[in-house]
Amino acid sequence: MTIAHISPPLPADAPKAMNVHLTFEEALKLHFSLGQLLGKINTYNRSTSGGRRAAANLCIYPHKSRITVNEGKLKRGGKPGTLKDDIEEVPSDEN
């Protein structure tokens, strides 16, 4: 799997990898959330630029031990998987 974009940019001293451990029940919730989002995105017409730009945004709040699954959009003309600014952020009210 390839990540299209990470924001905010990672500092140079960021760990090379992070392990996120989920209980079975929380993993099922993540699975269900991704399935619901992908089902919605799959209804879009992929022959249009809007349909091709549809993306999944997985937002991790490490200090709150929370994960949210949101719909995002790739930037126009961007190539996913280049780790450049390829995603327009979808605001989330996670306080």
Please indicate, yes or no, if residue 68 is contained in any of the structural domains.
yes
CA distance 18 to 20: 6
Are residues 70 and 92 in contact, defined by beta-carbon separation less than 8 angstroms?
yes
1 belongs to a structural domain: no
pLDDT tens for 7-33 read 888 899 999 999 999 999 999 999 999
Domain span including residue 59 = 24-76
With respect to residue 87, please indicate whether it lies within any of the assigned structural domains. Answer: no
- Nearest C-alpha neighbor of 58 from the set 18, 5, 16: 5
Give the span between the Cα atoms of 62 and 81, in whole angstroms: 23
Distance between CA atoms of residues 60 and 67, nearest Å: 5
Q: What percent of the chain has pLDDT over 90?
A: 59
Residue 15 lies in a domain: no
Count of domains in the chain? 1
What are the angstrom distances between the C-alpha of 88 and each of 3, 43, 57? 14, 20, 10
Cα separation, 1 vs 83, in Å, equals 13
64, part of any domain? yes
What integer is the mean pLDDT of 62-74? 93
Is residue 53 domain-resident?
A: yes
